[in-house]
Structure formats: C-alpha cells, structure tokens
Structure 1
Amino acid sequence: MTSEPSSPALTASSPLTRFRLAPNPGPMSLEGTNSYVIAAAGHPGAAVVDPGPLDEAHLHELAARTVELILITHRHRDHTAGAAHLHELTGAPVRAADPAHCTAGAPLQPGEVISVAGTEIRVLATPGHTSDSVCFHLPLDGPAGSVLTGDTILGRGTTVLDHPDGRLDDYLSSLDRLELLGPATVLPAHGPVLPALDAVVRAYRSHRLDRLSQIRAALAGLGGEPGIAEVTDVVYADVDPTVRRAAENSVAAQLEYLRSLRERL
C-alpha cells in the first residue's frame, strides 16, 4: 500500500457521478480504474463503485465524504483490492454479485433497485467478461440516464472474455440487455465516458461477430483440430505480447461458443 497523502480532484462524468482515476495503468486497465462516486446534488452521502487498487491516497480521496455504500462490478483485483480498506475507512458495506467480495452487505441481486445517495441504482446482471459481472443503471442521471458498465463495455477498445469463467453466449445476451437501455451515457471502468450506450453495444456486437468470422476462417485454413494458440496466431497475429494471454482467453471463449452452436444442430 502506498502512503502518499495527496489527491487530484474528482472529475465530473455525468449529473450524478464523478470519478477518480486510480494509479494502476497497464495493458488491461488502460489509464487505470475509474472509481466512481454517485450522489445527487446537495445530498450529504455518496455511493462508491469499484474502489480500485489498495492505494492509500486514492482510497482516502474516495473516503473524503460520507460513503453510504460501496459497489463492485466484478471480481478482478483492479476493481476490488481496495474495497475492504475503504470499508474500514468509512464503515460502508461492500456489495457485489459474488459473496466472496461482500463485506457487511448482502450479495447483489439481478433487477434489484438500490435507493442511496439521493438517487436510485438498478442492478443489471451482465455476465460474459466474468460470470459475476454486473452493470449499474442510473435512470435519473440526465435525460437518457447512465450505466456504469465495469469491464463489460470499455471506454476504448473491446473487453476480454475471461474464459472459462467468461462466456461468449452470456456476453452476447448481456449486450442485448444493455441495448434496450437506449442512448444512456456509458460510464466505463476503464477509458473515457461515451455518449450513447445503444450505439456502443451495436459496435461491440459487430466486432464480436467479425471475430467469429475470422475464427471460422482460421479453422478452415488450419484444418484438423487446431489448438487455441494456433488460432490466436492467425486471428491475433499482431497482438502485443503483454496481452497475448487475454487474446487466447477470448479465442477459447469463441471456440467454445462455436462448438456449442454445432452441438445444437
């Protein structure tokens, strides 16, 4: 844990939210984790989504207000590592879909509506990136509302399916569910805020279907029963070595999806 005392101001991201960029940049986390603070104007309390890493300055900045609730979008450590300490600093319960990441709070339930910080947060089950991934819909956040998408939708690039826990069939169903929310503001856990969820979902779906076509072509070209590494060499030929494992996970998820389609015929 670091001990530097300082902190830049929170950045406004929508009428009801601000965020602080955690100091954990990397190939998978982009500039770092966006830790969001949700509160209605004039309300003394706040909810924090994805506290991020175990970094003292970052967590003390998040705790510099009355935190009523800490929410987790999914299990990865760049979202959860600081949660227990933020609970210690604030006394706020930590709630996640996975009970292993809850502290003094019940697991999140799909469709649950949480009244907190002067507004309401609706829990959407969106498995695919991981099995426990959820998004948080803020229907009162501006004209079209907003959605905190965790890693289900990123501000730049596309998400990785953390196979075998993450599955493509789940992910495509989650995209369908999110598209129904229309042009809500996208508040991702990594990368910049995006203006219209439904348009982003359509682009994500198109990308996934394009990748499936590329994998089908690779399988036909390689012949036989090629392994994950061989298919990755073809489909992700130019991938940076630092994200090679992530590419292989995505290929594994897509191969599993294609097998399941064949089995249904």
Structure 2
Amino acid sequence: MNPTIELLNSHRSIRKYKSQPLPPGALESFIKAGQAASSSNHVQACSVIRVQDPSKRAQLAHLAGDQAYIEQAAEFLVFCADMKRNTEAAASTGIEPTLGMTEQLIVATVDVALFAQNVAIAAESEALGIVYIGGIRNNPSAISELLNLPEQVYPVFGMCIGYPDHQPEVKPRLPLEAVLMQDSYQEHEQAEQVAYYDQQMSEYYQARTGGNKTSNWSQSMAPMFGGKLRPHMRDFLIAQGFTMK
C-alpha cells in the first residue's frame, strides 16, 4: 500500500503520553505543514496557541472537561479561527470591512480543520500520537479570556501531541458504501449500511473493553442529537464578532 495512505488509515486517538519531549524544531515543522494546507481564497484564517504554562494547561484541562492528557502531552495546541488578521489587512487598503458574515465563519472554521489535520498527519508521520480536544468549546468564553483571544477569533478545538504510551486499536469507520455515492444521494441504502456498521462497532467495543461496554454507533450518536449540544456557542460566537449575517 502507498505509505501515505497506510499512515492515514492507521490513525488512532492517543490519550496516554510518555513524558518524552518532542525533538527541537519538530513542532515548528508540523505547523509549517499545517500552513501548507488548502485555504479558501488564501485567507489562511488560522492561528495556533501553543500552551506550555503548566497553570494554563491545568485550567484548560479542567475547562475542557477534566481531560488529564491535556496536561500530560508533550505539546498542547489550541487552534483558532482567526478573521481579525484578514479584516485588518483588508482595512489597511482603505476599505471598510464587512464583518460577521456567516460565510466568513464557515471559511475560517474549514481553514482551521484543514490546517490542523495537516499538523496531525505530520506528527503521526514521526511516530507521535495526537488527539483532538473538542471540549475546548465547553467553556469558550473562559478559554478565550485565558488565552487573550480578541474579537473575530474563536477557539475551534485543541490538540494534544506526544509520544504514545498505549497502542489502542484503530476504530472501524462507516462502510465505504455508506459515504461514497454515485451521482446522487443514496438515501435508501443508509439504513442497511448503518445496521451493518452498528454490528461492527458493537464487536469493537466488546473486544476493546473485555466485554464491559455494550454499545454501537447509533447509540453513541444519541447524546449528540438527543438534546441541545453546547447551546452557548451561538451567543459566544456573536459576542466574538461572528454575528452570522
């Protein structure tokens, strides 16, 4: 198999890390790889906060849902959607920038995701492990204050990077037939594919936990869609200048 595709297919979320630091210059090379990602209209609307202060790490771990590996990982990064730099650059040309457009929010968020995934792949290519921390959005106002984020900037997620101290199995993904469709959306095939995948995930959880977890993919979706997930995000984004016009 192509080694790049093999690396991509081997991704696991790593939540236990050795105390070993990254080699000098490694993080910078990963960030440069992130900068090489595609960017809509070349806006490059991503800024990355590298958090090394132990006190801030501890606060972030708590604010993100008491995730201890934020403190343990060799590196912890907060990836921010950043339209401040762009609007100020545009204003320097003499125009009056239009702020708060929904498309600006989408572009900035997509840019961050593409940037971060390049960073993740670069790190994994050097035998490091990563885990994304969506819990950063649990308390975005407090985290923005802690990191001194101005208007037109918001924290999208965090990322731990370090040498793995465990080797979890690769988690099965949805069947290819469920996500790759020909010419139009294949709605009638989804139920069958999800049922097949639920069985796979049930077996995976049973094997991973020694029979202590009885669940499947559909059941794992219930918390996300069975209630209002992070309802504070809309008001927070508006307060940060992303008014979604």
- State the TM-score, normalized to the length of structure 1: 0.24
Greater helix proportion:
2
Q: Which has the higher strand share?
A: 1
TM-score for both structures, normalised by structure 2 = 0.25
